[in-house]
Amino acid sequence: MLVVNTETVPGFRIVRILGLVQGNTVRAKHVGKDILAGLKNIVGGEIKSYTELLTEARRQALERMMAQAEQLGANAVINVRFTTSSVAAGAAELYAYGTAVVVEPAGGYETPAA
C-alpha cells in the first residue's frame, strides 16, 4: 500500500478514486509511565513516554485507515492528514484521514500491492 500526503504520486497515475478513508484512536496515558512524566513536568523538557505513546497511537490510526482502504480495494492512500485533539481529561484523540485510490505505474515502478 502506497501512503503519501501529496495529491498525486510521482511516477504513478491515479485511475480510480474510491473515497475518503479514516482511522482514529483515543489514547489515555499509562499510570506507571505517568509518574516519571509527572517528574519531568516539574523541570520541563521533552517527555519521551508521551512522544512514544503518540507515535504508537498515530501508527495505529494510520493502520486502521489503511485497513479501510484495503477493504475498498485500493492500492494507495493519497493526501493523508493527521490531527490530534483532547477529547476528555486524560485522553488524546489521534485521527488520520486520506483518499483511497487505485494507482497504476506511469514510470518505472511496479504496481503496488493492496
Q: Where along the sequence are the contacts to other proteins (CB under 8 A)?
A: 2-12, 29, 37, 40-47, 50-51, 54-55, 58, 62, 80-92, 107-109, 112
Angle between helices 31-43 and 48-71 (to 10 degrees): 130
Report the nearest approach of other proteins to the CB of residue 99 (Å): 13
C-alpha cell at 33: 509511565
Report the nearest approach of other proteins to the CB of residue 90 (Å): 7
Report the nearest approach of other proteins to the CB of residue 114 (Å): 14
By CB neighbour count within 10 A (0-12 exposed, 13-18 middle, 19+ buried), where does 110 fall?
Answer: exposed
Alpha-carbon distances of 80 from 13, 21, 32, 92, rounded to whole Å: 17, 9, 33, 19
- Of 18 and 57, CB closest to other proteins: 57
Q: What residue has cell string 511496479?
A: 110
Report the nearest approach of other proteins to the CB of residue 66 (Å): 10
